Structure 1
Amino acid sequence: MKARDAINPSISTLEVSDSVETALGRLMEHHINHLPVVDDEGDLVGVLSEDRLMDADGPDAEIGTLLVGRPVSVPPDAHIFDAARTMVQHDLSTIPVADTEGNYYGLIQRHDIFDKFAQMLSTQQTGAILALEVDPRDYALAKLIHLIEQNDGKVLAVASESPEQASGKIRVTLKLNVKDTSRIRHVLEHNGYHVVASFGEDEEELEELVEEFVRYLEV
């Protein structure tokens, strides 16, 4: 799933000529702490936080005077995992989507990523979620699924991420059709898979699950 697929079309951008008061009002309206700023050509020129706006000279100051540095963004074809990682790394409540030339495509909110992860991991279906790590030389999806099915489980959804370094681990997240994964986890550990986290079906735990998963992606 790509970043462009998680864009929230309901949030408008700020313009360089907008006032601090207007910008703060927009943040309050959308219940977020960061908004992108575009120029007259529609190109992304900055991202402003609530803290930055509160440090301005006054409510009538133009926000264009507050912009410094290169704005943080992700390209439209970036994987949704990369968008999540960038958002966490820079402690952002939103992440702009823009290409290398600065053309602005839209904005992704934290809860938009939560929704996409929930869809990818089939969280609406009964069952547990496992997050695993494994050496690339030991990873074979067919073998992994076979191990699980041998122990009365079924894989409903799977997401994997390749290591960034040659010596790194492949990260795999599985949604299973069973709640009790104790035997499956034991078998996977025995076969070289390190179980990073295991989550049950408690619906109140769902948001905590995705936040933990985002932190896991950041490591």
Structure 2
Amino acid sequence: MQAYEFINNLIPPLKSKDKAKMALTWMEEIRTNMLPVVENTRFIGFVTDDLIYTLNNPELQISKIALESSACFVYQEKHIYDVIKVASEHQSHMVAIVDKENNYLGVVTMEDAIGAFADSLSIQSHGAVLVLSMFMTDYSLFEIARIVESENAKILSSFISNDPLDDSKIKVTLKLDKSELRHIKATLERFGFRILDHYQEEGSESGEQERIDNLLRFLQI
């Protein structure tokens, strides 16, 4: 799950000497609103169609445009979670990937990153998702797993994030191998765990996709 594994080779970098009209042509061809800019193998930022349209000069060189998110990059060996984190910090749909010498290698799009994130959570596997809220000091995956397994279920994957409604707490998202959550929820609540939400398996492919979309929105990715 390292960043370089998810580089999108269909997105070309611009050079600082390229013109704005070339950038717009490439954006239209690959259906994106931003492109990375590279100078002497170094990533120097992103140019967006909004920036170009605002300047209204198709002959302008990219070097004359104030680029965005020059720090929106991660090193190639970083985990895909780091890509999502950096993208969120910069409110960007792309993150540049560089090597240890800061040479530009490519970009990872948020579509690709979220797809990898969904796979890492085993979302495509049969089962259900539970979201718990708790203090970090109360978090014990061993204890949660023990309770879940007492109901003949297993945790396929877990993910911790900040609770946007309470800065003092965390959200623990669990992917389970069981679709029926009634007894598992009851047992967790009996042991004092607060359940924020759950996503049970439905019988159609559209239901599966809707549940994935809802989960990603809930995690605010």
**TM-score using structure 1 length:** 0.81
SS at match of 1:108: strand
1:211 aligns with 2:216: yes
Q: Once the 2 structures are TM-superposed, how far is the Cα of residue 200 of structure 1 from its aligned partner?
A: 2.9
- The residue that corresponds to 1:33 in the other structure is 33
Distance (Å, rounded) in 2 between the aligned partners of 1:101 and 1:193: 47
RMSD over aligned Cα, in angstroms? 2.8
Distance 1:131 1:18 in 2: 48
Cα offset for 1:207?
Answer: 4.7
In the superposition, relative to structure 1, how do residues 195 and 99 fare at CA in structure 2: closer, same or farther (>3 Å)?
Answer: farther
Q: Is the 8 A contact 1:128 1:175 kept in 2?
A: yes
Q: Report the Cα offset of residue 128 of structure 1.
A: 1.1
Q: Which is further off, 179-188 or 10-19?
A: 179-188
Structure 2 residue aligned with 1:13: 13
- Aligned pairs for 1:128-143 (under 5 A) are 128-143=128-143
Change (3 A) 1:196 1:72: farther
- Following TM superposition, by how much is the alpha carbon of 1:98 offset from its aligned partner in structure 2, in angstroms? 3.3
Secondary structure of the equivalent of 1:123? coil
Work out the CA distance in 1 between the residues paired with 2:82 and 2:217: 15
Note if 1:43 corresponds to 2:48.
no
Give 3-state SS (helix, strand or coil) of 2:198's partner.
Answer: strand
TM (normalized to structure 2)? 0.81
Contiguous gaps of at least 5 residues in structure 1: none
Counting aligned pairs with the same residue, the percent is 28
What per-residue deviation string (whole Å, max 9, x for no partner) do you get for residues 157-210 of structure 1?
A: 2234699xxx85454322112223233234334434443432233223155135
Provide closer, same or farther for how the CA distance between residues 29 and 106 of structure 1 changes in structure 2, counting only shifts above 3 A: same
- What's the CA shift string for 1:136-160, capped at 9, x where partnerless? 3322222111111112322222234
Q: Write out aligned runs for 1:34-183 (5 A).
A: 34-39=34-39, 41-68=40-67, 71-76=70-75, 77-98=77-98, 102-160=102-160, 168-183=168-183
Which consecutive residues of structure 2, in runs of 5 or more, have no partner in the other structure? 202-206
Aligned length: 212
What is the deviation of 1:79? 3.4
Do the aligned partners of 2:47 and 2:68 also contact (CA within 8 Å) in 1? Answer: no
- Is contact 2:128-2:175 (8 Å) kept? yes
Higher relative contact order (CA 8 A, sep 6+): 1
Contact 1:132 1:197 in 2 (8 A): yes
Task: Identify which range, 30-39 or 202-211, moves more after superposition.
Answer: 202-211
Cα deviation digits, residues 91-132 of structure 1 (max 9, x gap): 322121236864323211111012101211122221112233
